[in-house]
Chain A
Amino acid sequence: MRVLLVEDELRLAANIASGLREAGFAVDHAADGNEGLAYAEQNLFDIIVLDLMLPGLEGRDVLRFLRKKGIHAPVLILTAQEGKTTIIEMLNSGADDYLAKPFDLGELIARVKALIRRSKGASSPRLRVAELEVDTILQAVRRGDTIIDLSPTEYRILEYLAHRPRAVVSKQELLEHLYDYEWEHHSNVIEAHISNLRRKISIPEQETIIETLRHRGYRLRSGDKQ
């Protein structure tokens, strides 16, 4: 999952980005409103964490422009401003949640996860993929009682696909949502990860869980959301 973090306070942004990356997210950082809006307009992000007080374009304006342009990624507002009116105004302008500074980094990560889950249509943090269970909190995949050992990238691919059962997800989309701009983009990286993932989660005699559709992408054979 890819997060856009719009925060002008660089030390804080660095901490949040590190925390999110350690929790398995790809994070892009924008230091002001205009840059944030430019990033967000690419529509690559699964969630946007937006500070309200920004130089250039203010956070509330970034939010309004985003919604006007039809970008529906969930937005988590970070604010150091007091007052219920700000919160109400933000939620009414299309924000999905807010956190007041100084917040708890763990809470921020949990909320980011919950918002992504919600936006993908899942309410439980445990997703079902065929006979597998993907625990988005522990970032673990189980078949029955056995935990399947996946690398972080493999897990992220599976989680991303699990959020979009029965939909065709292109390599490009996977690249865009799993990596931030600091990574080198190579679509064969995805192919390698998919192949490893397939090997780890499939049972030899059975049909593969992840289908490959030529020139189109990947699809989960059968996803079952709770």
Chain B
Amino acid sequence: MRTGASITRRLTLSVLLLEVLAGLVLIAIVTNHERQVRFETFDANLRASANELLGAVQEANSMDGSVRLESEGLHLPPRAAFRVLVDNGQVLGGRGVVPTVAFESDKVSRARIEGRPFRFYVLKGDRIIDPNSSRAVTHRVTIIYGLPEGRTWHAIFEATRFFALATVILLGVTAIFMSWLVRRLLHPIRELALKADKIDAEHLTFDAPESSKQFLELRPLAFAIQETTARLQRSFERQRRFTSDAAHELKTDLAIVKSSIQLLAMKRRTVEEYEQGLALGRDDIGRLESTVQKMLTLARLEQSVNVDQRECNFAAIVSDAITQSQSYGQVKNVAVFTTETEQYAFILLNPEDALLLCSNVLINAIQHSPENGRVEVALESRVDEVVLRVRDYGLGINEDDLPFLFDPFYRGDASRSRKSGGTGLGLSICKAICERGGGTISIANRTEGGAEVCILLPLASSWRP
């Protein structure tokens, strides 16, 4: 059983319904027009015949001065009914039944004779006998002439029937043509659907078929599908890359741990060698653990934002992070300076996340600083946002790497980053935290040398001046 409405059927039915309505109105108009024209002719005929009768009275020879009706040579239809009256009701001649009611003269009136509708015309005229002599006598002649309407009505009915039949045939033809046309016009939709149906996780590409691009109405749909697919593909691609990179990372770390142990087991070794091997293995496992930890952090941050997101004083957290990073800076002989600071800057982030963000950025800056270098931190409150800038005086960032810095597991120089203990997740985590707080993070090279990280975070609404 087919369920659901069909556009083809609906469209065809709507058009047919409109056509039926139009047909009915047309038939009504045509019928009315036909009736008018027919009866005008009918009435003209009545008048002509009445005049003919009057003529016959006027032209009849009068032998004895009386009025006569010369009915020979008159061509009156057999179904006509008439009376010719003179003066005071003397009937000169007539046929059929004529109503006795007094009709107005020069007017067409309707009457029913023996149950059939008739139209009568009353004509009044004079018959002057011996008009040229002094004895001229004038007689008033009244002619009542009528014809049954039946035939005319029949003709009107015939005409109407013809139009009705023509309309029905037209409707049929239109219905067939319409459904064909609609089907044809809807074909691009079917093509679009067929193409859209082929989209799946494996083939996340959609190229709208040409037919759908031709139609103004279909273009938005085709475009929307195309855009959605592209968005999905990008997101899938990101996910896929993350999974693959994560797997690569974990497998590499595992390969290190495994090979370290296997290397130790390859032959009998001295106690010192075993101790050294174990220490290395411990480091390897530590790194594996840190990679897993960071991946979990990133996964948590990228999940939908918590409803109970807390507020924290970013200014206090920045100064905490600076204090914490200074000890690491001392190891690397890098000084961390505050050039500008605020007392309060409340933002919508969990304090732990905010601290992680700040220390990640600071440690990154220290790592990229040269020996005896410095890192400058500036915190500035604006109308509705707070800006944190962290500058280092290192080598800066390779221009080629700039667009990918925040991609998970991206390392400008893989071996170098690995050596410094980076997992390639630090900046991705920073970005995720900033986005969680509704802000942004960016890195740029400074013209004076070194790089600057700029973090913009909106102030919590309750703290905006």
Residue positions of A touching B, CB distance < 8 A: 8-12, 15-16, 18-19, 22, 31-32, 53-55, 80-82, 100-106
- Contact between chains at A22 and B248 (CB < 8 Å): no
- Contact between chains at B263 and A12 (CB < 8 Å): no
Chain A CB within 8 A of B258 CB: yes
A32 nearest in chain B by CB position = B415
The minimal Cβ–Cβ distance linking B408 to chain A, given in whole angstroms, is 15
Chain A CB within 8 A of B95 CB: no
The minimal Cβ–Cβ distance linking A101 to chain B, given in whole angstroms, is 4
B249-257, B314-322, B352-360 - the one binding chain A: B249-257
Knowing A53-B248, A55-B414 touch, does A11 contact B284 (C-beta < 8 A)? yes
The minimal Cβ–Cβ distance linking B198 to chain A, given in whole angstroms, is 21
The minimal Cβ–Cβ distance linking B370 to chain A, given in whole angstroms, is 22
Contact mask for chain B residues 395-436; partner A; CB cutoff 8 A; 1 contact, 0 none = 000000000000000010111001100000000000000000
Out of B247, B252, B415, name the residue touching A82 (CB < 8 Å). Answer: B247
- Contact between chains at B419 and A105 (CB < 8 Å): no
Chain A CB within 8 A of B260 CB: yes
Knowing A11-B256, A22-B266 touch, does A101 contact B251 (C-beta < 8 A)? yes
Chain A CB within 8 A of B154 CB: no
The minimal Cβ–Cβ distance linking A69 to chain B, given in whole angstroms, is 24
The minimal Cβ–Cβ distance linking A104 to chain B, given in whole angstroms, is 7
Chain A CB within 8 A of B228 CB: no
Contact mask for chain B residues 243-277; partner A; CB cutoff 8 A; 1 contact, 0 none = 01001100110111111101100110000000000
- Contact between chains at B248 and A81 (CB < 8 Å): yes
Contacts of A11 in B (CB 8 A): 256, 260, 280, 284
The minimal Cβ–Cβ distance linking B407 to chain A, given in whole angstroms, is 15
Contacts of A55 in B (CB 8 A): 411, 413-415
- Contact between chains at A12 and B259 (CB < 8 Å): yes
In the complex, 20 of the A-B residue pairs with CB atoms within 8 angstroms, ordered by the A residue number, are A12-B256, A15-B256, A15-B259, A15-B260, A15-B263, A22-B266, A22-B267, A31-B415, A32-B414, A80-B255, A101-B252, A101-B254, A102-B251, A102-B254, A102-B257, A102-B259, A103-B255, A103-B258, A103-B259, A105-B262
Chain B interface, number of residues (Cβ within 8 angstroms) = 24
B416 nearest in chain A by CB position = A55
A53 nearest in chain B by CB position = B248
CA distance A82 to B241 in the complex (A): 12
Residue positions of B touching A, CB distance < 8 A: 244, 247-248, 251-252, 254-260, 262-263, 266-267, 280, 284, 411, 413-415, 418-419
Say whether chain B's binding surface is mostly helix, strand, loop, or mixed. Answer: helix
Knowing A8-B415, A31-B415 touch, does A102 contact B258 (C-beta < 8 A)? yes
- Contact between chains at A19 and B255 (CB < 8 Å): no
CA distance A67 to B430 in the complex (A): 43
Contacts of B244 in A (CB 8 A): 81-82
The minimal Cβ–Cβ distance linking B268 to chain A, given in whole angstroms, is 12
- Contact between chains at A80 and B252 (CB < 8 Å): yes
**Residue among A10, A12, A16, A32 having the largest count of chain B Cβ atoms under 10 Å:** A12
Contacts of A22 in B (CB 8 A): 263, 266-267
Contacts of B252 in A (CB 8 A): 9, 12, 80, 101-102
Contacts of A18 in B (CB 8 A): 263
Contacts of A31 in B (CB 8 A): 415
- Contact between chains at A19 and B415 (CB < 8 Å): no
The minimal Cβ–Cβ distance linking A136 to chain B, given in whole angstroms, is 17
B259 nearest in chain A by CB position = A15
CA distance A58 to B364 in the complex (A): 27
Knowing A10-B418, A18-B263, A22-B267 touch, does A102 contact B255 (C-beta < 8 A)? yes
